[in-house]
Chains A and B, each alone.
Chain A
Amino acid sequence: MTVLNTQIASTELPASGLAIINSKAPFSSTHGKDALDVALIFGAFEQKVSLFFQGDGVYQLCANQDGRLVSIKDYLKTFSAFEFYDIEDIYVCQQSLANRQLAEDFHIDDVQVLSSIDFGTALNRHQHVLRF
């Protein structure tokens, strides 16, 4: 019964905003930086944007990385400025962390760890999805 109610509630919620999925490790390609740029542009224009991290994308949330060591600007530092862009909904896939034996320990606050099912549900609440 409880499950049923949840399902009804989630289907009744109108989808809104943009979801950005990060699925690549930082610094090995420009995907992460590109995703960040899009997120900040949406934030700067007061558009609702949520960030999702799954697969190798979860490495972007690991602390103590510095792109400068491989001569790339350390864009991960910019994650700490999300509050000024009203980016508050940040989700990471628990299964992706577990598969990589990563702790639920991130370099920014307020990251929500979700099971694969909840991750998918949260994603479905968005009208548009961009995958990087």
Chain B
Amino acid sequence: MAIALTFQDKIIPTDKQGYLLDHLLWQRELAFIMAKNDEFELTEAHWEVINFVREFYLTYNTSPAIRALTKAMKAEFGAEKASSRYLYKLFPEGPAKQATKYAGLPKPARCI
């Protein structure tokens, strides 16, 4: 189902799953709107991951698969927050999939 995102009187183009087509159009406020449409609440813990995933994408030009994400997060946040268990608790539909969406990034092609 296509969701038309309207933000500050502008239409933000997304794919049919709601991922932004242009990650440069992303803003923090946009993530709240996307999450609201999904009836999903973003806490500070979610933001930690969202910001991290976005930073990863901007650095490496790719959205991380879950294993790469946990490995990369380990260095930054320590082992406790870098487990897939912790991440799945935050993002039950799949951390890589959900966090990249709210981070305004394309859906990871090799998404596990």
Contacts and interface: CB of A to CB of B under 8 A. Distances in A.
Partners in one complex: yes
The number of chain A residues touching the other chain, given as a range, is: 10 to 19
Contacts of B56: 81
A77 B57 CA distance: 10
Contacts of A73: 61
Nearest to B58: A77
B68 interface: yes
B109 interface: yes
For the complex, would chain B's binding face be called helix, strand, loop or mixed by DSSP majority? helix
Contact of A78 (B60, B66, B112): B60
Given A40-B110, A41-B110, A44-B110, A80 B65 contact: no
Interface of B: 56, 59-62, 64-69, 71-72, 109-110, 112
Q: Which 8 A-B pairs have the closest CB atoms?
A: A84-B68, A44-B65, A81-B60, A77-B61, A84-B71, A78-B62, A84-B72, A41-B110
11 contacts: A37-B110, A40-B68, A40-B110, A44-B110, A44-B112, A74-B61, A77-B59, A78-B61, A81-B68, A84-B69, A85-B68
